[in-house]
A = this chain, B = another copy of it.
Amino acid sequence: MGHMATEARERMIRTTGRLLRQQGYHGTGLNQIVAEAGAPKGSMYFYFPGGKAELAAAAVDRYAGKVTELLLALLAEHGTAAGAVAAYLDRMATGFDERGFADGCTVASAAAEVAPNEPVIGSATKRALVAWTEALAARLVAEGHPGSEAHRLATAAITLIEGAIVMAKGTQSTDPVREVRDTVVALLTPPPRGRRR
């Protein structure tokens, strides 16, 4: 596959991811994806024989990978799960404040609207949510939490991130994101040494 061809495929995946976040699966037509990606007409079924569902699943996987990379970078930078998730929510709030509330989460859009009915998309949203949860859970284990407690806290953090997007878009305000940030910090910050819960 030539370099230009690979680029067209990449642009289709990225464009689909953005359109899923902004207007959902059913609101996004194949013609719009091809047009906004600047891809040749007909190339869609060449790269994605499974059609729109396969393209959406690829977009979910791509978005999931980017978020996992960002979470790992924030964990490395801040040193704790609490610090990383707080930083993630700060970035989310800044994004909404600077660019409005049209954007969101490719995975959440796909999960809410279409994952239960399209197995290829449902598998991709599951991979994403499991990967994010496990990235945080591994860090929480390293911070001293037992495994099942680490998993529960990591699930809570990812759930709060996904819910915060709904709250921000639904109220057109970043106030809930900032409140959720404080809750995440309280939830994930380990108790002082020597105090057992």
Binding site for B on A (CB under 8 A): 23-28, 100-102, 104, 107-117, 122, 125-126, 128-130, 151-153, 155-156, 158-167, 169-173, 176, 179-180, 182-183, 187
A27 to B115, CA, bound (A): 14
Residue pairs across A and B with Cβ atoms less than 8 A apart, 29 shown, are A23-B26, A24-B24, A24-B26, A27-B27, A27-B113, A104-B112, A107-B170, A109-B112, A109-B113, A111-B166, A112-B166, A112-B170, A115-B170, A122-B170, A122-B172, A129-B176, A130-B171, A152-B182, A155-B176, A155-B180, A156-B180, A156-B183, A159-B160, A159-B167, A159-B180, A161-B163, A162-B166, A163-B164, A187-B187
**A100 vs B108: C-alpha distance when bound (angstroms):** 18
CB-based nearest B residue for A172: B122
Collect the chain B residues with CB atoms within 8 Å of residue A161's CB.
Answer: 163
Across-interface contacts of A153 in B (CB, < 8 A): 183
Shortest Cβ gap from A158 to chain B (Å): 7
* Residues from chain B with Cβ under 8 Å of A115 in the complex: 101, 169-170, 172
Q: Whole-angstrom distance from the CB of A37 to the nearest CB of chain B?
A: 19
